[in-house]
């Protein structure tokens, strides 16, 4: 890939990743969102799906890059794609807090407009016990929260200066947790669907292939790769 093409490709990836938000805005403005049988449910599922798909795309970058040295440039997209996964997961969480859990948005908004700056916080306090109850009782919420917290830690530590401050090895160790975030996201999906529903299967197959590729690469690096001495001898 010629270096000159990278900024164009980055712009294309940005457009692709932000497109689901444009689509939501379009649905809202055209009234199509309100026509959904359950708009809040639609928004929760839509953002959850995109968070998972972009997370899987992020996980795919490293194994694909390893297929050929010519694909080394792909690594320059990892941080950006990872940040989009975090963005959609956060949007998903905000939709859960402010729409799914019964938060009274119109009252909070009316309070703000009337100059009661604490009204949004007051409304949050009202739904807090329901959310806490959800968190205590529902496994899928706990596992979803775990996945989101990992994505948060990865997003916070993704800038270069944080990498330098942490040291490469520590940073790499922490960023390996992205696989745990992927596993937790798939588990979250399985736990929330009704028994017999196989909707999370496709995502789980993709995740399993990526995890196997990761394990195979580690095994090859440890046992299969010829040592420098063998490589020199073979080349001679």
Which residues bind to ligand HEM, rule: CB under 6 A?
A: 41, 44-45, 48-49, 51-52, 55, 89, 92-93, 96, 100, 141, 144-145, 147-148, 185, 188-189, 192, 199
Q: How many other C-beta atoms are found inside a 10 Å radius of the C-beta of residue 215?
A: 10
Nearest-approach distance from CB 128 to ligand HEM, in angstroms: 13
Nearest-approach distance from CB 217 to ligand HEM, in angstroms: 23
- Residue (111 or 141) nearer to ligand HEM, CB: 141
Nearest-approach distance from CB 11 to ligand HEM, in angstroms: 25
Q: How many other C-beta atoms are found inside a 10 Å radius of the C-beta of residue 230?
A: 10
- Residue (55 or 108) nearer to ligand HEM, CB: 55
Nearest-approach distance from CB 94 to ligand HEM, in angstroms: 10
- In degrees rounded to 5, what are phi and psi of residue 28? -65, -50
- Residue (104 or 134) nearer to ligand HEM, CB: 134
- Residue (109 or 139) nearer to ligand HEM, CB: 139
Contact between 120 and 104 under an 8 Å Cβ cutoff? The reply is no
Residues 6+ apart with CB under 8 A from 20: 46, 50, 88
- Residue (74 or 207) nearer to ligand HEM, CB: 207
Residue among 16, 154, 179 nearest 83 (CA)? 154
Termini Cα distance of the chain: 32
C-alpha 213/C-alpha 125 separation (Å) is 45
- Which residue's CB comes closest to ligand HEM? 48
- Residue (73 or 179) nearer to ligand HEM, CB: 179
Nearest-approach distance from CB 103 to ligand HEM, in angstroms: 13
DSSP state of 67: T
Question: CA-CA distances (angstroms) from residue 145 to 193, 207, 216?
Answer: 17, 19, 29
Radius of gyration, alpha carbons of the chain: 22
Q: Work out the burial of residue 172: count CB atoms within 10 Å of its CB; fewer than 13 is exposed, 13-18 middle, 19 or more buried.
A: exposed
DSSP state of 77: G
Nearest-approach distance from CB 16 to ligand HEM, in angstroms: 18
- Residue (74 or 185) nearer to ligand HEM, CB: 185
Nearest-approach distance from CB 163 to ligand HEM, in angstroms: 23
């Amino acid at each position: 890939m010629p270096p000159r093409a990278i900024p164009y490709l980055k712009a294309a990836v940005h457009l692709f990743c932000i497109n689901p938000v444009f689509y939501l805005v379009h649905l809202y403005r055209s009234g199509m969102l309100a026509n959904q049988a359950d708009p809040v449910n639609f928004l929760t599922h839509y953002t959850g799906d995109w968070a998972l798909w972009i997370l899987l795309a992020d996980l795919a970058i490293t194994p694909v890059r390893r297929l050929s040295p010519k694909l080394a440039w792909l690594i320059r997209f990892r941080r950006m794609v990872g940040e989009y996964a975090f963005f959609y997961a956060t949007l998903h969480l905000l939709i859960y807090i402010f729409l799914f859990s019964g938060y009274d948005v119109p009252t909070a908004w009316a309070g703000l407009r009337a100059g009661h700056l604490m009204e949004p916080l007051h409304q949050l306090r009202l739904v807090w016990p329901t959310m806490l109850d959800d968190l205590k009782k529902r496994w899928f919420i706990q596992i979803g929260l775990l996945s989101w917290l990992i994505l948060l830690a990865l997003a916070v530590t993704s800038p270069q200066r944080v990498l330098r401050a942490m040291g490469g090895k520590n940073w790499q160790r922490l960023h390996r947790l992205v696989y745990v975030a992927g596993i937790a996201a798939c588990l979250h999906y399985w736990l929330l669907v009704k028994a017999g529903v196989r909707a999370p299967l496709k995502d789980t197959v993709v995740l399993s292939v990526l995890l196997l590729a990761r394990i195979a690469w580690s095994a090859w690096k440890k046992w299969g790769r010829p040592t420098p001495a063998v490589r020199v001898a073979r080349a001679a």
